[in-house]
Amino acid sequence: MGYIMEKEQSFRDAAMNYEMAWKYSNQTNPTIGYKLAFNYLKAKRHVDAIDVCHKVLDAHPNYPRIRKDILDKARSALRS
């Protein structure tokens, strides 16, 4: 469901669906965490995106792209 909302560019609704998936995966699935952080970023929820990125990177330090694609962008958006 989150994927469908994301494709329709309804990032807030997509984030809500990914939040449920993230919760039910005990916040351990890096793919769901990536998608959640991505949708938070698109919905301009930068602090939430950063929090999820940190959780993913704590559990999976070498998870590809999350640092460059989301974490760095969310941090720079907060600074501007």
Question: What CATH number is given to the structural domain containing 58?
Answer: 1.25.40.10
Chain Cα centroid distance, residue 12: 12
**Mean pLDDT value across residues 23-47:** 96
- What letter does residue 64 receive in the DSSP assignment? S
Is residue 7 over pLDDT 90? no
Of 8 and 76, the one with more pLDDT: 76
Residue 4 is predicted with a pLDDT of 80
Residue span of the structural domain in which 52 resides: 2-79
Of 7 and 49, the one with more pLDDT: 49
- What letter does residue 3 receive in the DSSP assignment? H
Whether 60 and 54 have beta carbons less than 8 Å apart is answered as no
Is residue 2 over pLDDT 80? no
Whether 75 and 49 have beta carbons less than 8 Å apart is answered as no
Q: What is the pTM of this model?
A: 0.91
Number of domains, the chain: 1
